[in-house]
Structure 1
């Protein structure tokens, strides 16, 4: 198994990425190799400074970097020797089994769709976020930004993708899938939710439990919450501030501590032909480590193969 890591992506790259790679390597098995993609000389210097042998990794040197604010499509096309472009090329060729980066999210989405491409039958890939539950455990929210505008059949597919992720990666049996809405009643909502509800109600593809409101997000009434990417991104950014506010207020609480993005590593892009994980732009070494481990889990659980079977 070879897992590719973009060491040039993120606000604190390459140092945070290399330090995270060191921590990830300590947990990997002997037959699991971490491939560091980016400026090799910088990586070697950081490894030497931290007394960690370069023999523990493979390296692919690149000469270009896609910045966080660059236009995704233009950057991928105009910077073929960037760490993101090279990572996707290796993933497409099969020399990597997974690829992760805390770099430009748009470039990661574009790279996914133009290199490894979407799984046949999947209309649009989705990005996910972890939602801590009040009584322990976690849930999944999708989409959280890949698709600002959606159609009903796309949301239906998000239910399938989220259910498979919950079951395969987080060991949630028969996940309860809900539709985010402004009310629990079937007749509530905008045109999108009104059209999506009957599709989900009548499907046998997952365990649909109806509409939920924003206040239900952290309850045990659901395991997977489906919404368009615009709504999901607003919810995600608001939820992320809970943890930041508790730190600023010096308020320690076990529940709000679980909003710390570092624990979850990143967001899988679901619906494409290979495991790809996008990390938070401010990822520190702990987040990078967990991003790599999530990539590993996606390979080991054969999540992509399960999604392909579901969409046959």
Structure 2
């Protein structure tokens, strides 16, 4: 298995990316290899502070970098030799099994759509967030930022995509799918939420349990939480803030520790013909290390293949 990582993407790159890759290399199974993509001279200079490059880490040279503030589509077309563009080229050509990056989120999302493309039948691929649950494990929330505005049909499909993803990622036979709303009653919420509810209810391929509220985010009521990217992003980042608040107040709690973005490190794009994970721009070595660990699980789950098979 080859796990490609954008070595130049992120506010703390390349130092944090390389350090995280070195830490991950000590924990990955023997069948895994990490491919760092970026300026070879810069990467090797950073490695000098850590000794020899581990045998399970290879470097693929990329001359350019897409910066955080650049327009995604323009940058990808104008910088074909950037680390993100080369990463997706390798993924498209099946030279690597997954591509991970903490760089320009828009470029990562657009790059996935332009290279490996959406699975046939998918209306809009989504970014999935791993939400820790009080009873242990995680729920999948879709979307957490890729699609700020969604029609009912798109939200309803998120329920099906999320169900399939959870089924094969977490080995759940009948994942519980819920719609995030402002009340549990069927008639509650915006016009979009009200129109989405019956579409989810009528889909016999999923185990729809109805609406949940914001207070239910962490309480193990659902395995898949359906929402638009605007609401999902706000909820997800508010959840992540619990760790920083607790840390500032000197509070130590095992569950709150799981809300720290470093605990998972990355979020997969669900609905494309391949494996892609997006990390926070401020990713630390620990976040990168954990993202690579989850990337390994993602490839092993073959979730995107199961989704494609189910939709076809």
Query: What is the TM-score normalised by the length of structure 1?
Result: 0.97
**Cα drift, residue 170 of structure 1:** 2.4
Moved more, 20-29 or 195-204: 20-29
Q: How much is the aligned-residue C-alpha RMSD, in angstroms?
A: 1.3
For 1:35 and 1:138, locate their aligned partners in 2 and report how far apart those are by CA, in whole Å. 28
Q: Please give the alpha-carbon distance, in whole angstroms, between the structure 2 residues aligned to 1:60 and 1:151.
A: 40
Distance in 2, Cα, partners of 1:29 & 1:252: 31
TM-fit CA distance, 1:167 = 2.0
Post-superposition offset of 1:46: 2.0
Contact 2:25 2:54 in 1 (8 A): no
Corresponding position of 2:291: 291
* Structure 2 counterpart SS, 1:167: helix
1:84-122 Cα offsets, whole Å, 9 max, x none, are 011011111111111000111000000000010000000
Q: Secondary structure of 1:122's partner?
A: coil
Check the 8 A contact 1:116/1:273 in 2, yes or no. yes
Contact 1:145/1:233, CA 8 A, preserved across alignment: yes
* Aligned equivalent of 2:79: 79
Matched, 1:280 2:280: yes
Q: What does the per-residue CA deviation read over 1:103-153, in whole Å, with 9 as the maximum and x for residues that have no partner?
A: 110000000000100000001000011112223222121100000011111
Partner-residue secondary structure (3-state), 1:58: strand
In structure 1, the partner of 2:155 is 155
Report the Cα offset of residue 179 of structure 1: 0.2
Unaligned runs of 5+ in 2: none
Matched, 1:183 2:186: no
Q: Secondary structure at the match of 2:51?
A: coil
**Are 2:224 and 1:224 equivalent residues in the alignment?**
yes
The secondary structure found in structure 2 opposite 1:135 is coil
When structure 1 is superposed on structure 2, of 165-174 and 90-99 the one drifting more is 165-174
Q: Structure 1: 5+ residue runs without aligned partners?
A: none
Q: Per-residue CA shift, 1:151-193, capped at 9, x if unaligned?
A: 1111111112211222222233411100011111111111111
Instruction: Name the residue aligned to 1:38.
Output: 38
Greater shift in the superposed pair: 16-25 or 266-275: 16-25
Q: Following superposition, which runs of at least 4 residues in structure 1 exceed 6 angstroms of deviation?
A: none
